[in-house]
């Protein structure tokens, strides 16, 4: 819980490298009904072994700079960004934050999400 509070504190201060774990994401999903989850993996990865979190928005990292406008209606929402392991989502989080979005990176990505049984 303390780690979750620290993550929220850094997030609320607008740190571009804000992050939380998959457990933190699970808690945030329960606490914030307006949370947006952006999965920046490819469509093929969404259909792969790791699957996907229900109701995610999928914009692959390679397309995010051209498609960022699709997220404009969510600019006031928190956006949790996830990928396979946390590397692409970290880059996407930075891009979104630099463009005024309230983005937070999910460290460990879908690998950690599945390893934790979610």
Phi, psi of 101 (to 5 degrees): -90, 155
Q: Which residues are registered as beta bridge partners of 105?
A: 19, 81
- Give the active site residue among 61, 81, 82, 83: 83
Measure the CA–CA gap between 114 and 84, rounded to whole angstroms. Answer: 10
Measure the CA–CA gap between 72 and 21, rounded to whole angstroms. Answer: 25
Measure the CA–CA gap between 47 and 67, rounded to whole angstroms. Answer: 21
In the residue annotation, 83 being an active-site residue is answered as yes
Catalytic residue positions?
A: 83
């Amino acid at each position: 819980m303390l780690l979750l509070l620290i993550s929220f504190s850094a997030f609320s201060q607008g740190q571009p490298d804000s992050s939380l774990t998959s457990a933190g994401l699970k808690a945030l999903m329960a606490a914030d009904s307006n949370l947006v989850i952006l999965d920046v993996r490819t469509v093929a990865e969404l259909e792969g072994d790791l699957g996907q979190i229900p109701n995610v928005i999928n914009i692959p990292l390679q397309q995010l700079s051209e498609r960022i406008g699709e997220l404009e209606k969510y600019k006031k929402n928190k956006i949790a960004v996830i990928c396979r392991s946390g590397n692409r989502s970290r880059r996407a989080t930075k891009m979104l934050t630099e463009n005024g979005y309230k983005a937070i990176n999910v460290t460990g990505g879908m690998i950690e999400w599945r390893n934790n049984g979610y």
